[in-house]
Amino acid sequence: MSLDCGKTDYELGKRVLAYLENKGVETPRIKDQISPAAKVDVIEKNFKEILTVMGLDLTDDSLKDTPRRVATMFINEMYWGLDPQNFPKITAVENKMGYESMVIEKNIVVHSTCEHHFVMIDGYAHVAYIPKDKVLGLSKMNRVVEYFSRRPQIQERLTEQIYYTLEHVLETPDIAVLISAKHYCVKARGVEDINCETITSKMGGCFKEDMNSRNEFLSLIRSAGGV
């Protein structure tokens, strides 16, 4: 979806993009000047060719609108996280109360797409930080996860992008990100293992250096149905 401009922050999106590029974890991309509407038209045309090559009859009423549906879905629903204009507005406020303990958002839904086979990745992200000068609105962690999920991904990079975005916004390395997900490139093709889950993590600051902080994070996300 193209998000409500009142809920997005393009300037922050550009700063985050530059920060991730500097860290070497931004999604491989080329610069383009094509509008979202023009992208839909191009994808529709090319997806028609794909379906025709597969031998499908696009005059059938079940299929005739499929290329347009897929193109619109790609740009407006599944991959809007490729556009920094859609970066979510993030509210970080001064930590006036001096809160120094862990803040965790667990079981954040991850819906993404494997960039190798363009099939689904479904799972959960668990995100924690220890505040210094700033505290974050709780839903903002969910929005960061969703933004980077809404693009073709590999799970390792997704984990790093979430971590470094929060590091940039919160101005602290004391952040932990753990993702557990099922990949349909493993579940529905290849080895066809329906039970396999992939777990990735990125720990920084005290979560990396202090085993007690790391163990507390892992214990808390397991305590009520996490990993």
Q: Which of 65, 86, 107 is the last residue of a domain?
A: 86
pLDDT of residue 170: 96
Report the alpha-carbon distance of residue 171 to residue 192 in Å, rounded: 42
Round the average pLDDT of the chain to a whole number and report it. 95
Q: Is 196 a catalytic residue?
A: no
Residue range of the domain that includes 194: 92-222
Q: Does residue 96 share a domain with residue 80?
A: no
Q: Does residue 65 share a domain with residue 100?
A: no
Q: Is 116 a catalytic residue?
A: yes
Q: Does residue 134 share a domain with residue 67?
A: no
First to last CA, the chain: 30
User: From the candidates 26, 85, 111, 117, which is the catalytic residue?
Assistant: 117
Q: Does residue 63 share a domain with residue 17?
A: yes
Task: Note whether residue 227 is domain-resident.
Answer: no
Q: Is 155 a catalytic residue?
A: yes
Q: Is 185 a catalytic residue?
A: yes
User: From the candidates 26, 85, 111, 115, which is the catalytic residue?
Assistant: 115
Q: Does residue 51 share a domain with residue 116?
A: no
pLDDT digits (tens, 9 = 90+) for 130-145: 999 999 998 999 999 9
Q: Does residue 205 share a domain with residue 96?
A: yes
Q: What CATH number is associated with residue 11?
A: 1.10.286.10
Q: What is the pTM of this model?
A: 0.94
Q: Does residue 212 share a domain with residue 107?
A: yes
pLDDT of residue 33: 83
Q: Does residue 105 share a domain with residue 37?
A: no
**Which structure tokens are listed for 191?**
């080895």
Residue 31 · residue 4 · CB < 8 Å: no
pLDDT digits (tens, 9 = 90+) for 37-50: 999 999 999 999 99
Q: Does residue 211 share a domain with residue 113?
A: yes
In angstroms, the Cα distances linking 105 to 50, 109, 196 are 41, 11, 24
Task: Note whether residue 96 is domain-resident.
Answer: yes
User: From the candidates 116, 171, 196, 209, which is the catalytic residue?
Assistant: 116
Q: Which of 86, 111, 143 is the last residue of a domain?
A: 86
Q: Concatenated DSSP letters for 36-62?
A: HHHHHHHHHHHHHHHHHHTT--TTSTT
In angstroms, the Cα distances linking 71 to 67, 68, 76, 91 are 6, 5, 8, 32
User: From the candidates 44, 105, 114, 206, which is the catalytic residue?
Assistant: 114
What are the residues facing 125 on neighbouring strands?
Answer: 108, 179
Q: Does residue 66 share a domain with residue 126?
A: no
Q: Is 126 a catalytic residue?
A: no
Q: Which of 66, 86, 106 is the last residue of a domain?
A: 86
* Residue spans of alpha helices (H) in the chain: 10-23, 36-53, 66-73, 138-149, 155-170, 184-187, 206-209, 211-222
| Averaged pLDDT for residues 207-225 | 92
pLDDT digits (tens, 9 = 90+) for 142-198: 999 999 999 999 999 999 999 999 999 999 999 999 999 999 999 999 999 999 999
- The sheet with strand 120-129 has its strands ordered as 152-153, 103-114, 120-129, 175-183, 198-203
- Range with top average pLDDT, 20-24, 90-94, 191-195: 20-24
CA 219 to chain centre: 24
Q: What CATH number is associated with residue 136?
A: 3.30.1130.10
Give the total number of structural domains in the chain: 2
Q: Does residue 105 share a domain with residue 82?
A: no
Report the alpha-carbon distance of residue 190 to residue 142 in Å, rounded: 31
Report the alpha-carbon distance of residue 152 to residue 143 in Å, rounded: 17
